[in-house]
Structure 1
């Protein structure tokens, strides 16, 4: 299977590329694509940049250039205190927006009018025993164009999604692009910090020392089962 892997930040890309067996790079739409093998799969890796617009453009570029059978977004996310702690890996069984409101049109908050509120991961992939490991959780990931760093900000998100497990800035936008192009999508995120904690900024800064490898360990193990 051809698999597309999207990360948002350079530091994530720097950790991921050494895992590939020899790769070639080319540029499409001014975005670098890295094509190689990971396990038994052909993979195309890209760094899309931070935020929903960058994520959607990156996803569409990757899909158009590589025609993957599955797109995986790997990266970091803030925790919500619901079922996952710092350094746990959250696998998005569903992803959704937390900052969308189309007005009194009948669509609930978090839902783009005319689209589903939740973009669901493929059941066959979610069933992987890799996700039954200690420290790996299946749950809802909510996305918006903000770094959530306050109790108030997190509370507003939990009013929409009481069971949200992680918050990030890209997953839902990539999921929407994949939904529209009919490509299965999965988000894998490691919890980096707890919004509203007194040491929130310090949590995020020190997290980068080693923790992102947790998601890539899960990613590599997943590909071995597909």
Structure 2
């Protein structure tokens, strides 16, 4: 069974629209929806925004012995000039970009990086190709920060220049899934691009569209599992 974690209600609803729901289970504030997505068993839940919320939801899912893999799906901000709203980022590594113990550990204390299961990356690429969605394999940078200032962008890219997108949950999902020995994948559809001048307008207008596209990708992905 695939565990699917969404940060925002629009992201979860876009997935649930295509699910045949069989049951729900409430653990604390996390409601897990069990059912079938394109013929495959899934468990989908809303984590809420931010790393602590994502870590709690991932921990709950990972304690279910039927969950074989974790997929964190949703929207993110692109970090490259050549990217466009609607593009897909398929993670090959995920970084806790705002983790910083460098005053005592030097450069080794900047960021926690987690490698993504190569088999899941391959299936995600096949899913994107089948939907004819532009995609990039790259790093996902996680911070408890919605980047809106130029200095935020410069700081992140100075430390993690290969990052393809920035968001607020993937690093926590990666760290918890790794601790439970569950393979994981982070999929992000771009709702805005940090280096575009109309960035705030892009997010408000395209977040729902990006959520729907992310749901289509997870459907195609699950069909390949």
**TM-score, structure 2 as length reference:** 0.91
Query: What is the aligned length?
Result: 220
Gaps of 5+ in 1: 112-116
Partner residue, 1:125: 120
Aligned equivalents of 2:163, 2:152: Cα separation in 1: 13
Equivalent residues of 1:73, 1:188 under 8 A apart: yes
Equivalent residues of 1:4, 1:66 under 8 A apart: no
Q: How does 1:1-226 map to 2 (within 5 A)?
A: 2-65=1-64, 67-81=66-80, 84-103=83-102, 104-106=104-106, 108-111=108-111, 117-128=112-123, 129-132=126-129, 133-226=132-225
Query: In proportion to residue count, which structure has more strand?
Result: 2
Partner residue, 1:114: none
Aligned equivalents of 1:11, 1:34: Cα separation in 2: 15
| 1:68-107 Cα deviation digits (max 9, x unpaired) | 1110000100010166322101011110011110132255
Distance 1:100 1:209, change over 3 A: closer
**TM-score, structure 1 as length reference:** 0.91
SS in 1 for 2:105: coil
**1:135 Cα shift?**
0.5
| 1:185-216 Cα deviation digits (max 9, x unpaired) | 00000111122533221111000342321111
Q: Which 4+ stretches in 1 moved above 4 angstroms?
A: 131-134
Query: In proportion to residue count, which structure has more helix?
Result: 2
Equivalent residues of 1:131, 1:137 under 8 A apart: no
| 1:118-159 Cα deviation digits (max 9, x unpaired) | 211111121222244541211100000000112211110001
Aligned equivalents of 1:83, 1:68: Cα separation in 2: 36
Aligned equivalents of 1:173, 1:16: Cα separation in 2: 21
Equivalent residues of 1:29, 1:61 under 8 A apart: no
Aligned equivalents of 2:68, 2:82: Cα separation in 1: 30
Equivalent residues of 1:48, 1:54 under 8 A apart: yes
**1:110 Cα shift?**
3.5
Equivalent residues of 2:79, 2:195 under 8 A apart: no
Equivalent residues of 1:83, 1:165 under 8 A apart: no
Distance 1:220 1:211, change over 3 A: same
